[in-house]
Amino acid sequence: MSDKKKRILTGDRPTGNLHLGHYVGSLANRVKLQKEYDSFIIIADVQALTTHWEKEENLTENIYTIALDYLAAGVDPEISTIFIQSMIPELCELTMYFSLFTSVNVLRHNPTIKSEASQHGFKDMTYGFLGYPVSQTADIAIFKAHLVPVGEDQIPHLELARKIVRRFNDLYKPVLIEPDTLVGDVPRLVGLDGKAKMSKSLNNAIFLTDNPEILKSKIRSAVTDPARIRKNDPGHPEVCTISQYQKVFNAAEIDEIHANCRQGSIGCTDCKNNLFNRINILLEPMRERRNKYANNMPLVTEILYEGTKKARAVAQDTMHEVREAMQINYFNQ
Ligand code: SF4
């Protein structure tokens, strides 16, 4: 790690395998940015518990699942720091200090909190769920991240994070960094059913772990233009799921595909085969990397252990400054 590099913080809740939506929305960017930035990647297991607190038995498996997904996607543990949130107790301490001056009403009116609460059917929000943006702010601030890559739905959280950090710096001492937001320009990937976003819970996702046979059958099942009955019927790529994937995974050929589709000179089966090849070429090196790590799980444990140790040392340094700024240092240690 070079101290001169700016730091970015990214991460996920460990709730299962990552899919192509995660890859194009954030993972690909993380792999790209890791050389330019000092990259910290948090496996947010405590935040996973804010919505799945009764499913603690899946956590360990999910942490390893997501770590393998990162490594398979090309996150390089030599230059990126992958760590586990719950193993850094200083995060709880900073969350508590931030919560002292964060208004409950601000959290209640956060549009992402509102939509997630309704998605999970929470009529009575728990203290932990309502406060997870505060915990997220602690994740960012404790590592002094300069930049946080986010999807559109996370923008309200980042705005709040910036406000909390600013308030802390104004109230006590300017020891924390106000993070900048990096919003990705890749559109959200639709699901194979074409109706919603790609999501494990909606059962419409292509996972990074899918083998070629599964990948082929999923692509074959994807919704296309319902008006195309025969192979030479003129198509409408704007209503076709495959066309949306082609745009992302086969940008070089997209104009030609659209023209051929509209003229009825390419069949949907050929178009799907073409897409299969594109995505398979993307996933093949990931499968190889995954196999390498999956066959050496002690190495994965070591990567997580060392990453967490390094992250904790950074967190401890920051908390030293935070306590000093707040004059919480009664024994001069
Ligand atoms: S040819 Fe391709 S873009 Fe056109 S409707 Fe069929 S699958 Fe969709």
> 97 and 155 in one domain?
yes
> 234 and 300 in one domain?
no
Looking from the CA of residue 228, the nearest atom of ligand 1 is 5
Residue 109 burial (CB count, 10 A) = 11
What residues have CB less than 8 Å from 63, skipping those under 6 apart? 14, 43, 45, 84, 304
> 269 and 286 in one domain?
yes
> 180 and 247 in one domain?
no
Q: What is the CATH number of the domain that holds 272?
A: 1.10.240.10
pLDDT of residue 56: 72
Q: Which domain holds residue 174?
A: 7-189+296-325
> 93 and 66 in one domain?
yes
- Residue 170 CA to ligand 1 center (angstroms) comes to 56
Examine residue 45 and state whether it is found in any structural domain, yes or no: yes
The amino acid at residue 124 is D
Examine residue 205 and state whether it is found in any structural domain, yes or no: no
Examine residue 201 and state whether it is found in any structural domain, yes or no: no
- Residue 24 CA to ligand 1 center (angstroms) comes to 21
Q: What are phi and psi of 125, to 5 degrees?
A: -70, 140
203 — alpha (psi -120 to 50), left (phi > 0) or beta?
Answer: left
> 300 and 279 in one domain?
no
CB of 250 within 6 A of ligand 1: the answer is no
DSSP 101-152: TS-HHHHHT-HHHHHHHHHTT-SS--HHHHTHHHHHHHHHHHTT-SEEEE-G
pTM of the model: 0.92
Examine residue 47 and state whether it is found in any structural domain, yes or no: yes
pLDDT of residue 289: 97
> Is residue 8 helix, strand or coil?
strand
Cβ contact 112:88 at 8 Å:
no
Examine residue 36 and state whether it is found in any structural domain, yes or no: yes
> 45 and 31 in one domain?
yes
- Residue 264 CA to ligand 1 center (angstroms) comes to 9
> 235 and 120 in one domain?
no
Nearest alpha carbon, ligand 1 atom 6: 268
CB of 275 within 6 A of ligand 1: the answer is no
Examine residue 199 and state whether it is found in any structural domain, yes or no: no
CA distance 14 to 161: 22
pLDDT beneath 50: ranges in the chain: 1-2
Domains identified in the chain, total number: 2
> 171 and 49 in one domain?
yes
> 151 and 48 in one domain?
yes
DSSP 40-54: EEEE-HHHHHHHHTT
> 276 and 176 in one domain?
no
Cβ contact 175:322 at 8 Å:
yes
Residue 286 burial (CB count, 10 A) = 19
- Which candidate, 173, 143, 171, 169, places its Cα nearest to that of 310? 143
> 216 and 121 in one domain?
no
- Residue 239 CA to ligand 1 center (angstroms) comes to 9
Examine residue 229 and state whether it is found in any structural domain, yes or no: yes
pLDDT of residue 152: 75
Examine residue 259 and state whether it is found in any structural domain, yes or no: yes
pLDDT of residue 327: 95
Q: What is the CATH number of the domain that holds 11?
A: 3.40.50.620
pLDDT of residue 54: 75
pLDDT of residue 2: 46
